[in-house]
Chains A and B, each alone.
Chain A
Amino acid sequence: QSVLTQPPSVSGAPGQRVIISCTGSSSNVGAGYDVHWYQQLPGTVPKVLIYGNTNRPSGVPDRFSGSKSGTSASLVITGLQAEDEADYYCQSYDSSLSGVLFGGGTKLTVL
């Protein structure tokens, strides 16, 4: 069971805004470790969407944004498009485990 908790699924209509949460604890997100977000389209390699909590790699649309507060982080997708349908994962470091953690993943369905 992941120590970073994500909702198993979220959905939204085209053009809408969706938020994917990533809830951690005082030994990972709450300890100040960065959160990164990945998008995995069906059958493809995970792609970095957000790194260092809020930073977008070049080429990632500004419809995607990240934030972090306390022991949680969020990925916000605005102007939802059909091609956004994918699995999304958050990632951080955990000091008590001395290792990297991934959230369990969230499947985004565009209605």
Chain B
Amino acid sequence: EVQLVESGGGLVNPAGSLRLSCAASGFTFSSYTMNWVRQAPGKGLEWVSSISSASSYIYYADSVKGRFTISRDNAKNSLYLQMNSLRAEDTGVYYCARDFAVAGPWGQGTLVTVSS
């Protein structure tokens, strides 16, 4: 079964840092572009970042550029999102998702709350 499981969310103070992880199983992780997508409470979906299969290409939404860093470890079948200088508006559920062009899947999400 193709599966993605996020972890690492939690409550963090403004200006703090958090590292999200996404463990993949059931498919050849190293062959696919991977993505992070977030959803603020009661709001729509917002793309955060994408990384190509060999980490050659990395893209960020303007809202997180310079603060977030996406990375992957193909040997560990894992995707990461290092989030620094966190702001209240970064609060939401963060999903990892396999290449959008192949219909997912998406993980269950991990909640990040930025508040003092």
Chain A residues with CB under 8 Å of chain B are 2, 34, 36, 38, 40, 45-48, 51-52, 55, 57, 87, 89, 91, 97-105
| Residues of B contacting A: mostly | mixed
Q: Can you list 11 contacts pairing A with B, beta carbon distance less than 8 Å?
A: A46-B95, A46-B106, A48-B106, A51-B101, A97-B62, A99-B47, A100-B35, A100-B59, A102-B44, A102-B46, A103-B44
With A46-B45, A89-B44 known as contacts, the answer to whether A52 contacts B95 (CB < 8 A) is no
> What is the number of residues of chain B that contact chain A, defined by CB distance less than 8 Å?
22
Q: Which residues of B are found within 8 Å of A40, using beta-carbon distances?
A: 45
Q: Which residues of A are found within 8 Å of B102, using beta-carbon distances?
A: 51
Q: What 5 pairs between A and B have smallest CB-CB spacing?
A: A100-B47, A51-B103, A105-B44, A48-B103, A102-B45
Say yes or no: A100 contacts B100, CB within 8 Å. Answer: yes
Q: Please, how many angstroms separate the alpha-carbon atoms of A64 and B102 in the complex?
A: 18
A101 shortest CB reach to chain B, Å: 7
Q: Who on chain A is nearest to B108 by CB? A: A45
- In the complex, besides A36-B100, A48-B105, 7 extra interface pairs with C-beta distance below 8 angstroms are A34-B101, A46-B95, A52-B101, A99-B47, A100-B35, A100-B100, A102-B44
A9 shortest CB reach to chain B, Å: 13
Q: Who on chain A is nearest to B61 by CB? A: A99
A84 shortest CB reach to chain B, Å: 18
Q: Which residues of A are found within 8 Å of B109, using beta-carbon distances?
A: 45
Q: Please, how many angstroms separate the alpha-carbon atoms of A97 and B101 in the complex?
A: 18
Say yes or no: A104 contacts B44, CB within 8 Å. Answer: yes
Interfacial residues of chain B within 59-74, with CB under 8 A of chain A in the complex: 59-62
